[in-house]
């Protein structure tokens, strides 16, 4: 009996030592650059990029350079405005943008680490399947909007006597998914702490967000447009901590 207990204790200790050796946790934050495509019924198109933010944490396990991890992230997008010429119908990029509603992401990432300079420098490409949910989604109802030359500040009622624009934004669903590719490069401190920068490209399974835009002209002409959020690029800095010193 004593031998059995001792054997089990030794095995549990060995397993614990091995399993903890690959566990790690980290934190990331940075810029979220959503890409939007605008199209109106005059055939004019425009590509725009907004500047938002992302922050979150993750936990993972690494063995022989390969890793798997998951976490929880908050994404805080921005929505760019559109400069519309009511006389010519031409559209151009605006220098202004407003805050969008936050959404959240749970990734499942796999990656491979490549070491340099005696293990002090590393490069780590990763592929991720992301589950995204939008808590402000309501079927058939807009979650946000913006406008130009509106009748009353804060209203979405257009000025019928002059030029004006109304935009109403919608999330496509409560749940969405994305495939993400990324690459990180950084420096390892005392074989236990990583500090790094990371670039990612996220392609949504379907547009995450879209807008219905109406341009009213004082001459009586109305132009309808749509704009969709098709993908996003992310630039982040990160800090990672291993439970056991790395070789």
Q: What is the domain partition of the chain in residue ranges?
A: 2-242
Q: How confident is the model at residue 140 (pLDDT cuts 50, 70, 90)?
A: confident
- Give the closest residue to 41 by CA, choosing from 245, 235, 221: 221
Q: How confident is the model at residue 151 (pLDDT cuts 50, 70, 90)?
A: low
Virtual torsion, Cα 19, 29, 129, 135, nearest 10 deg: 120
Between vectors from CA 164 to CA 160 and to CA 168, what angle results, nearest 5°? 110
Provide the greatest CA pair distance for the chain: 95
Give me the chain's average pLDDT, please: 86
This prediction has a pTM of 0.82
CATH number for region 2-242:
2.40.160.20
């Amino acid at each position: 009996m004593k031998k059995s207990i001792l054997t089990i204790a030794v095995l549990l200790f060995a397993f614990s030592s091995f399993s903890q050796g690959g566990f790690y946790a980290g934190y990331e934050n940075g810029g979220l650059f959503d890409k939007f495509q605008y199209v109106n019924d005059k055939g004019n198109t425009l590509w725009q990029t907004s500047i938002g933010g992302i922050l979150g944490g993750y936990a993972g396990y690494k063995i022989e350079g390969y890793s798997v991890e998951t976490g929880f992230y908050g994404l805080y997008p921005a929505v760019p405005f559109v400069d519309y010429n009511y006389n010519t119908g031409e559209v151009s990029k605006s220098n202004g943008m407003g805050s969008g509603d936050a959404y959240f992401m749970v990734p499942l990432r796999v990656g491979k680490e490549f070491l340099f300079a005696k293990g002090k420098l590393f490069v780590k490409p990763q592929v991720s399947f992301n589950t995204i949910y939008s808590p402000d989604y309501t079927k058939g109802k807009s979650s946000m909007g913006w406008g130009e030359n509106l009748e009353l500040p804060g209203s979405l009622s257009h000025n019928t006597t002059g030029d004006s624009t109304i935009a109403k934004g919608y999330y496509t669903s409560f749940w969405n998914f994305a495939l993400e590719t990324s690459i990180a490069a950084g420096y390892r401190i005392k074989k236990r702490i990583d500090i790094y920068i990371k670039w990612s490209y996220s392609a949504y399974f379907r547009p995450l967000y879209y807008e219905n835009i109406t341009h009213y002209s004082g001459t009586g002409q109305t132009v309808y447009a749509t704009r969709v959020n098709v993908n996003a690029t992310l630039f982040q800095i990160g800090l990672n901590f291993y439970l056991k010193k790395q070789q």
